[in-house]
Amino acid sequence: MPAESYRHVPEAMKQLTISETPEELAAMNAFIRERSLATA
């Protein structure tokens, strides 16, 4: 998780992010919530 470089990310948030990552990004081992992509 990129945010872990500057703050602790709770396990529940990690699992939520992983579960909401589009398949194409997860296949590249990149995890970001789809709604975060919409607001970027």
Q: Which region holds residue 29: left if phi is over 0, alpha if psi is between -120 and 50, else beta?
A: left
Helix (H) or strand (E) holding 38: helix 34-39
Range of the domain at 28: 2-39
Number of domains the chain contains: 1
Whether residue 31 contacts residue 21, with contact meaning beta carbons closer than 8 Å, is answered with: yes
1-40: pLDDT as tens digits: 666 677 888 999 999 999 999 999 999 999 999 998 888 7
pTM score > 0.85 for this model? Answer: no
Give the model's pLDDT for residue 8.
Answer: 86
| Local structure of residue 23 (DSSP, 8 states) | H
